[in-house]
Amino acid sequence: MEIVCESDIIFTLTLGLVIEIVSMKDLLTKSVLTSDAYDIGSVNDFQLSIEDWRVTALGVTLNSQSKKDLGIKKLPLTGVTLCIPVAHLDKVGDMVTLRIDFDHLKNLPECKSLL
């Protein structure tokens, strides 16, 4: 899967064919489910490669239950955002579905804000 960003549109490409077009604005705040149907939080950010202007990862803010189940001990008001590489995305519809299960989230990095 390859995702190319032009303006606020994401193109999902397979073998050079455009199979789906999704607005980046439409992805913001969508719920994110793991492959084992665990609701982990919502999309709140994107990481882009400025070399080729490709979306490389989605920033997903974890909900309180996900933080607890992952053993993340931060203040309740502190948001934790994981950077989920686009290779781990499966489907985008009413929600974003991942190709990985909940246990694999432990291996993903937290997104660092540049601000």
| Residue 74 lies inside a defined structural domain of this protein | yes
| Residue 11 lies inside a defined structural domain of this protein | no
**Pairing between strand 31-33 and 96-98?**
parallel
Domains identified in the chain, total number: 1
The pLDDT of residue 95 is above 80: yes
Higher pLDDT, 21 or 90: 90
pLDDT tens by residue, 9-56: 444 444 455 456 677 888 899 999 999 999 999 999 999 889 988 889
Calculate what percentage of the chain has a pLDDT beyond 90: 49
| Residue 42 lies inside a defined structural domain of this protein | yes
Q: Supply the pTM of this predicted model.
A: 0.77
Average pLDDT over residues 93-115: 87
Gap between the Cα atoms of 106 and 82, Å rounded: 10
The pLDDT of residue 75 is above 60: yes
pLDDT at res. 77: 64
CATH at 47:
2.30.30.240
Domain of residue 98 covers 28-107
Report helix, strand or coil for 100.
coil
Calculate what percentage of the chain has a pLDDT beyond 70: 76
| Residue 46 lies inside a defined structural domain of this protein | yes
The pLDDT of residue 66 is above 90: yes
Mean pLDDT across the chain: 81
| Residue 16 lies inside a defined structural domain of this protein | no
* DSSP-derived secondary structure letter, 75: -
| Residue 2 lies inside a defined structural domain of this protein | no
φ/ψ (deg, to 5) at 65: -70, -40
Of 71, 77, 47, 73, nearest in space to 60 by CA: 47
pLDDT at res. 58: 94
φ/ψ (deg, to 5) at 111: -70, 140
| Residue 13 lies inside a defined structural domain of this protein | no
| Residue 96 lies inside a defined structural domain of this protein | yes
Gap between the Cα atoms of 67 and 81, Å rounded: 10
Report helix, strand or coil for 53.
coil
